[in-house]
C-alpha cells in the first residue's frame, strides 16, 4: 500500500478495537513469562505497562462521556493479583466501551485532556496510540516480535501528529513521533512531544509540545 493511499485513511472508532486485537494477539503467547521485567525504556515493568494499556481507553471514555472540563480520575482500579492472561482479555472490554461511546457521540462534543479539548476521534486516536506504543514497550521487554498494521499506524500518526512529514513509513514514523526511536537523519524526539487531540480543524500549524510542570 502506497503512502499516498495510506494518507487517505481516516481514523474511526473501529480502530481502537483493531489496536486492542493486535495487542492481544502479540501478548497472549507470552502470558506465562516474567512480567516484572522492564518494559522497553520505561520506568515501569511490563505488568504495570499492561495495566496502563487497559486503563487508557476507559479513562478516555470517562472523560468523553462526562464532557469533562478538567481531568477526572480513572474509574478502573488496578488488579495486582489478576493473572496476566485475564488482564490481556480485559483490554477488549475497555476498548469496546470507548468504541461504542465514540460511535454514538456527536462530533461537536468535547472532553478534557491536558493536550487539548478532545473530540471523540481524538480520544480514540489517543487510546490507539497508547495501546500500540505500550505494546511495543512490553514486546521490547519480553523479546516479542511486533509489527502493527501500517494502515492503523498511519491513521493514528496523521490524527495525532499532523506535523509529521507525509510519506513516512507509518510504524517507524509513529515510534519516532512518540519519542521511542530515531529516524534516518532525525534524532529521537525529546520527552516533551505531545498530541493534537483537539480536532485537526483547530490545529494552529505548529508542533505541539508538552508544557513543563509548574
| 48-78 tens-digit pLDDT | 999 999 999 999 999 999 999 988 877 665 5
- The DSSP element (H or E) to which 96 belongs, if any, is helix 84-104
Q: Which residues contact 174 (CB under 8 A, 6 or more apart)?
A: 129, 132, 133, 153, 156, 157, 161
Classify residue 185 as left (phi > 0), alpha (psi -120 to 50) or beta.
Answer: left
Classify residue 10 as left (phi > 0), alpha (psi -120 to 50) or beta.
Answer: beta
* Residue labelled with grid coordinates 505494546: 135
Q: Alpha-carbon distance 94 to 83, whole Å? A: 17
pLDDT value, residue 6: 43
Note the pLDDT tens digit of each residue in 196-210. Answer: 999 999 999 999 999
Mean pLDDT of the chain: 92
- The DSSP element (H or E) to which 25 belongs, if any, is helix 14-27
Q: Are 193 and 179 within 8 A, CB to CB? A: yes
Name the percent of the chain lying above pLDDT 70: 93
Domains and CATH numbers, the chain: 3-202 (1.20.120.450)
Among 3-12, 22-31, 32-41, 189-198, name the one with the lowest average pLDDT: 3-12
Name the percent of the chain lying above pLDDT 90: 86
List residues bridging with 193 in a β-sheet. 209
Residue 190 dihedral angles phi and psi, to the nearest 5°: -70, 165
pLDDT value, residue 71: 82
Reported residue count of the chain is 214
More confident residue, 166 or 148: 148
Residue 214 has pLDDT above 90, yes or no: no
Amino acid at each position: 500500500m502506497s503512502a499516498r493511499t495510506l494518507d487517505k485513511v481516516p481514523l474511526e472508532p473501529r480502530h481502537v478495537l483493531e489496536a486492542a486485537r493486535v495487542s492481544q494477539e502479540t501478548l497472549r503467547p507470552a502470558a506465562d513469562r516474567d512480567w516484572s521485567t522492564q518494559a522497553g525504556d520505561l520506568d515501569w515493568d511490563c505488568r504495570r505497562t499492561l495495566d496502563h494499556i487497559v486503563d487508557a481507553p476507559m479513562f478516555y471514555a470517562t472523560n468523553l462521556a462526562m464532557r469533562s472540563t478538567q481531568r477526572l480520575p480513572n474509574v478502573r482500579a488496578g488488579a495486582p493479583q489478576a493473572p496476566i492472561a485475564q488482564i490481556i482479555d480485559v483490554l477488549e472490554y475497555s476498548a469496546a466501551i470507548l468504541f461504542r461511546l465514540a460511535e454514538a457521540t456527536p462530533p461537536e462534543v468535547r472532553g478534557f485532556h491536558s493536550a487539548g479539548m478532545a473530540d471523540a476521534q481524538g480520544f480514540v486516536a489517543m487510546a490507539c496510540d497508547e495501546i500500540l506504543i505500550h505494546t511495543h514497550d512490553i514486546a521490547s521487554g519480553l523479546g516479542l516480535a511486533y509489527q502493527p498494521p501500517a494502515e492503523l499506524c498511519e491513521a493514528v500518526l496523521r490524527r495525532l501528529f499532523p506535523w509529521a512529514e507525509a510519506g513516512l513509513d507509518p510504524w517507524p514514523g509513529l515510534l519516532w513521533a512518540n519519542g521511542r526511536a530515531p529516524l534516518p537523519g532525525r534524532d529521537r524526539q525529546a520527552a516533551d512531544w505531545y498530541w493534537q487531540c483537539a480536532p485537526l480543524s483547530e490545529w494552529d500549524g505548529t508542533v505541539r509540545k508538552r508544557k513543563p510542570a509548574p
